[in-house]
């Protein structure tokens, strides 16, 4: 799984970097030719795209390194750090777009040849949709937080390019302030996306538990297993592609240790079949000590 994960995530990061570099060159020409502030907004966003995608590429490769003596749980948290760094990059670009939009709203500047901007924006829109489609497929296969953050970024680019097309069309008919208004709207949306991305990254770094649906699946697997009378103290988190799952099983007091170990091994394999690549730790408790043990399940 880790090899497939690494291959797909690396390819997604490389594809994003190459696409962002290509779009940057196209947008530099379009901005120079038209003077559109919306295209300038897209140009700045492409600069951020390149920085973010390069950061992703480097961090993802680091996060795929196996565990070592100093990082016994692996390097998966590097993905969350990459997502947090991306949110900072994106917030900076959103602030720049907002300030530029205000300036052009106060002193609107007519565009040269809006038709060129329309063609360039259409090319950027198609290329970005192709990239987002590929990234969505990779996220579905890997659940990579870094690729998901990159995908959310490029999804905002799709909306940005659509807004730019509308702004260029309105400018064609002399509504020059529309260009600045759309730049403001794009900046606000990008800032919102960045804050949401940063929140998710911080939650991962703080070891937020797995989603309720996944924890409920773990509970259902464990409590339905023959020889298990109950369970408690389910603790979960995720680092990169790896889920960490800890749980206490409740068993009969007179169950032989070897048999209790065998049941725990079977439960572990059942969890791994549902969540491949997970790190599962199971502790066996006799039923008589359960009232003194930890927290029982609150999920239904």
**Which letter does DSSP use for residue 296 in this model?**
B
Residue 285 CB neighbour total at 10 angstroms: 21
Q: Which residues contact 173 (CB under 8 A, 6 or more apart)?
A: none
What are the φ/ψ torsions at residue 283 (nearest 5 degrees)? -115, 135
Task: Determine if residue 233 is labeled as part of a ligand binding site.
Answer: no
CA atoms within 13 A on the CB side of 73: 17
Question: Taking the C-alpha atoms of 52, 58, 63 and 68 in order, what is their torsion angle to the nearest 10 degrees?
Answer: -150
- Exposed/middle/buried for residue 25 (C-beta within 10 Å: 0-12, 13-18, 19+): exposed
End-to-end CA distance of the chain: 31
Q: State the SS3 of 99-153.
A: HHHHHHHHCCCCCCCHHHHHHHHHHHHHHHHHHHHHHHHHHHHHCCHHHHHHHHH
* Long-range CB pairs of 124-130, under 8 A, 24+ apart, other chains included: 124/23, 124/26, 124/27, 124/42, 124/157, 124/161, 125/158, 125/161, 125/162, 125/165, 127/19, 127/22, 127/23, 128/19, 128/23, 128/154, 128/157, 128/158, 128/161, 129/158
Task: Determine if residue 207 is labeled as part of a ligand binding site.
Answer: no
Nearest residue to 253 (alpha-carbon basis) of 229, 230, 287, 228: 287
DSSP E strands, the chain = 230-239, 242-251, 279-286
What residue numbers does the annotated binding site for Zn(2+) cover?
A: 45, 49, 153, 157
Could you list the residues known to form a binding site, using ranges: 45, 49, 153, 157
């Amino acid at each position: 799984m880790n090899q497939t994960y690494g291959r797909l995530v690396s390819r997604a990061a490389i594809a994003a970097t190459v696409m962002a570099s290509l779009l940057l060159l196209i947008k530099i020409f379009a901005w120079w030719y038209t003077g559109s502030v919306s295209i300038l907004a897209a140009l700045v966003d492409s600069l951020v795209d390149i920085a973010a995608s390069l950061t992703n590429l480097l961090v993802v490769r680091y996060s795929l390194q196996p565990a070592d003596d100093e990082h016994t749980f692996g390097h998966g948290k590097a993905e969350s750090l990459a997502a947090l760094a991306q949110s900072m990059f994106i917030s900076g670009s959103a602030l720049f777009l907002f300030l530029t939009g205000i300036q052009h709203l106060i002193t609107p500047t007519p565009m040269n040849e809006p038709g060129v901007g329309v063609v360039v924006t259409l090319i950027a829109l198609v290329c970005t949709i192709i990239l987002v489609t590929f990234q969505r497929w990779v996220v579905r296969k890997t659940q990579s937080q870094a690729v998901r953050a990159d995908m959310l970024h490029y999804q905002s680019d799709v909306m940005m390019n659509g807004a730019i097309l509308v702004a260029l069309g309105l400018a064609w008919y002399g509504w020059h302030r529309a260009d600045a208004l759309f730049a403001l709207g794009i900046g606000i949306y990008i800032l919102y996306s960045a804050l949401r991305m940063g929140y998710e990254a911080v939650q991962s770094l703080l070891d937020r538990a797995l989603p309720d649906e996944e924890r409920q699946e773990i509970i259902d697997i464990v409590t339905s297993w023959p020889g298990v009378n109950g369970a408690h103290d389910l603790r979960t988190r995720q680092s990169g592609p790896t889920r960490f799952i800890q749980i206490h099983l409740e068993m009969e007091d007179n169950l032989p240790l070897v048999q209790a170990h065998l049941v725990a091994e079977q439960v572990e394999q059942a969890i791994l079949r549902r969540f491949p690549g997970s790190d599962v730790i199971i502790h066996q408790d006799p039923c008589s000590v359960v009232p003194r043990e930890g927290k029982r399940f609150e999920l239904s």
